[in-house]
A and B are shown apart, each in its own frame.
Chain A
Amino acid sequence: MKVIAIAGANLRRMLRERSNIFFVFIFPIAVILLIGVQFGGGIDPVVGLLAPEPDGLAVSVADAVRGVEAIDTRDFESEDALVTAVERGEVQAGVLIPSDIGEVAARGQIVEIGWVVRPDGLGIQLQSVVGSAIAEVMKPVGAAQFASEETGRDFETALGQATALAPAMSDISVETRTVGEALFPPSMGQFDLGAPQQLVLFTFLTALAGSAALILSRQLGISQRMLSTPTSTSTIIGGESAGRFAVAFLQGIYIMGLTWVIFRVNWGDPLGAMLILLLFSAVGAGAGMLMGAVLENEQQAAGIGVVVSLGLAALGGAMLPLELFSPTMKTVAHATPHAWALDGFAELVRHDGTTLDILPELGVLAVYATILLVLAAWRLRLALTRPA
């Protein structure tokens, strides 16, 4: 019972601090929302567009560029603004449509459209996509220029003729299909990839932040006073561990539940997801306890906690998906508990796995949790019983 009382006291202490409410409950959801909005829809490259209004052909070309599916476009008011945006990488490339291209075409000259790119950008790739859209619009123009040249008739007449004939001509269609099994199936929701990543990042961060409270308890002599009561060190260690674990687990449940309700995030098999969270929270609690037992200064603990939890999250695939890692980095990643937890979630969500399918991942997490908790208990016992 005392274990629960100590854990409960820890939990209450955490919840009373208003900044904890922010970091534990508000911030993770805000990050999931932000990342989902920024990257969730797939990242379509953005192409800047400077298109004058009055010229008919210029408007058609601009509309063709806007209609390209694989890119987003953003309109600019001036050439300077467009060029600067390309230089800064705010847009990947820019299309400058001169205002007189209709007249240029009518004179039978080649229409020049400006294409602003950076040397290191996606310019070449985007050029083919944008170019094919413009080619489609320029079809009757080119045909009319040719016919006008050949027959001596004026351009407008030829253009009228070409435009009238165009729909009857046979179109060469390009049929594109892809083969193989997709890493990220298109059925995945906007927030489905990011939510498990943020879940492991933040539960671990929270658990490590719990080390500061443990250090404070030791500094203020609370732990020593607890020891002077008929309470064994095992009970205290159990209670403190349970407190860290409860905070991380509570946060995890909250993130899962809220993202499921608000963002419709698919967490896969509920039992499997719950087991991953349970074991991962235990890993976090163990790591937090170990830090709390070893370090002497709560400000140091806060700094080290941030470095360790963000560093492990980055290495473990909680920022960039593991699937995009190189083989070497993937091996390195699996030294972190994060990678195993994320593998488990990926199996549950993307491959419709069940608890049985994620037994290896659960096993590894259980080993992590056991080792860390045993180590932490040993160090904390030393720290508590060592004469000050």
Chain B
Amino acid sequence: MGAPRLIAAKDLRLRIRDRSAIILGLIAPLALAFIFNLVFGGAFEPGGIDLSYGLVDEDHSDASVALGEVLGDVESQGILSLETFQEAGAAEAALDSNLIDAFFLVPSGFERQIHTGGEPVIEVVGDVDEQTSTQIASSIADQFATGVETANLAVATTGALAGGGASPELIASMGGDPSTAAFSYQLVEDAVPTRQLDGTTYFAAAMAVFFLFFTVQFGVLGLLEEERDGTLPRLLAAPLGRSAVVGGKALLSFALGMISMTVLIVATQVLMGAQWGAPLGVALLVVTGVLSAVGIMGLVAAGAKTAEGAGNLGSIIAVILGMLGGVFFPIGGSGDLLSKLTYLTPHAWFMRGLGDLSNGGQWTAALPAAGAMLLFAAITGVAAWLLLRRRLLA
């Protein structure tokens, strides 16, 4: 057991002196996580939409006042803010200067049109760059319009069934209020916890796992470098098994990955306020994540002809897996092919595991993701081990 440790310790000293492992393993992920958080931080936080609307009532009728009441109700729930304007010009000016996102306009004659079977219209005028807010305003107006239509239909249906049509007498004799007909359904809210990382933690974790695959390369690639530099035969001439040599390099890879991840987790937590979740769960994810990176990069080293070739192929694979795993931007979601492909990467499992831990998740929430990464590690690791050992024979 001593030999692999000795080999790993010697290489670790070399790598630290060389500084390139420090750049790729610590400085690069930290710097990029910081920059990405700075640039995307605001855009990433969800729920940031403030709805501010205007209302212009040119009709001054029961129906138009009802719209104002409906909007007032929504406002009192804290969902939007509403400002009343006397005329359309003032509302348009407010729209121009970005004081409101959109405004509702009830043209004069609105109620008369409803009762005479005309073509009543509610106008929604929105800022061209506030598409979402405008869309929501339009939906609210739609819902109000449907409510009025439902009440009218309720009266008409009652009249038809009673045989007399929708006469004023009928309306007067009704026991109920027809506007309640609009409340034949309700959306029952089921608020569920978020199992998603906040922006800062997302970038910290994404960059950490992305550069992890470059960092662990320094270990397994060392084998190919010793081969190139001619020190490998000398190492093999020593009274060591081949397993000790391969094991030493794998151990170094694992150590580099663990050091880099640990430092990054502490640093991003202290410097940027990243929230990684239950320590035991995070530790599980980190260990299995590093193992899967060692396995995959070991396999790359085993398959390459030269150290340079392995380095290049490793970079390509690390970049493709990272991109597909959603470390630069979230992948999938629409249930298409991509959202299935993404789980062919340890990156996606790592991020998903951290997401499951977020918002006070128990450490056990990380188990499925850790299991998936362990599977990656086992398959690629065993293949790499066998191939590398065989390579040493040649």
Contacts and interface: CB of A to CB of B under 8 A. Distances in A.
Given A169-B149, A172-B122, A307-B27, A142 B183 contact: yes
Interface residues of A, number: 105
B157 A158 contact: yes
A88 B369 CA distance: 13
- Which interface class (under 10, 10 to 19, 20 to 34, 35 or more) fits B? 35 or more
Interface string A166-190: 1001111111111111110000000
A70 B129 CA distance: 15
Contacts of B251: none
Interface in B291-315: 312-313, 315
B184 A153 contact: no
B184 A110 contact: yes
Contacts of B190: 83, 96, 114-117
A274 interface: no
Contact of A27 (B193, B319, B334): B319
A135 interface: yes
Interface stretch (B15-23, B236-244, B263-271, B376-384): B15-23
A125 interface: yes
Contact of B153 (A119, A143, A153, A324): A143
Nearest to A129: B139
Nearest to A304: B23
B42 interface: yes
A19 B187 contact: no
A151 B162 contact: yes
A113 B157 contact: no
Interface string B33-75: 0011011101101110101000000000000000000000000
A87 interface: yes
A51 to B, nearest CB: 15
B114 A113 contact: no
Interface in B108-161: 113-114, 117-129, 131-132, 134-143, 145-150, 152-154, 156-158, 160-161
A162 B152 CA distance: 11
Given A17-B312, A27-B319, A173 B119 contact: yes
A169 B323 contact: no
Interface stretch (B4-12, B172-180, B272-280, B385-393): B172-180
Contacts of B124: 174-177
A56 interface: no
Contact of B140 (A86, A110, A128, A138): A128
B181 A142 contact: yes
Contacts of A325: 39
Interface in B188-218: 188-196, 214
B316 interface: yes
A35 interface: yes
A179 B125 contact: yes
A161 interface: yes
A124 B80 CA distance: 10
A166 B113 CA distance: 17
B24 interface: yes
A121 interface: yes
Contact of B184 (A31, A138, A169, A302): A138
Contacts of B118: 170
B355 A88 contact: yes
A173 B134 contact: no
B160 A161 contact: yes
A142 B184 contact: yes
A145 B184 contact: yes
Nearest to B156: A165
A50 to B, nearest CB: 12
Contacts of B82: none
B362 interface: no
Contacts of A89: 194-196, 330, 333, 355
Contact of B147 (A31, A135, A300): A135
A157 to B, nearest CB: 7
Contacts of A136: 142, 146
A303 B316 contact: no
Contacts of B135: 70, 129, 176
A35 to B, nearest CB: 7
B86 interface: no
A91 B129 contact: no
A130 B109 CA distance: 29
Given A135-B147, A147-B157, A314-B35, A174 B138 contact: yes
B182 A178 contact: no
B28 interface: yes
A315 B39 contact: yes
The interface centre, meaning the residue of A35, A171, A182 with most chain B CB atoms within 10 A of its CB, is A171
B20 A303 contact: yes
Contact of B187 (A127, A149, A181): A127
A157 B157 CA distance: 10
A116 B192 contact: yes
B99 interface: no
18 contacts: A39-B329, A89-B330, A111-B186, A117-B192, A118-B192, A119-B193, A122-B46, A132-B140, A140-B153, A141-B184, A142-B185, A146-B154, A147-B161, A149-B176, A169-B153, A171-B119, A172-B121, A320-B43
Question: Top 10 nearest A-B pairs by Cβ distance?
Answer: A19-B312, A142-B184, A172-B145, A299-B20, A303-B23, A146-B154, A132-B142, A143-B153, A147-B157, A142-B181
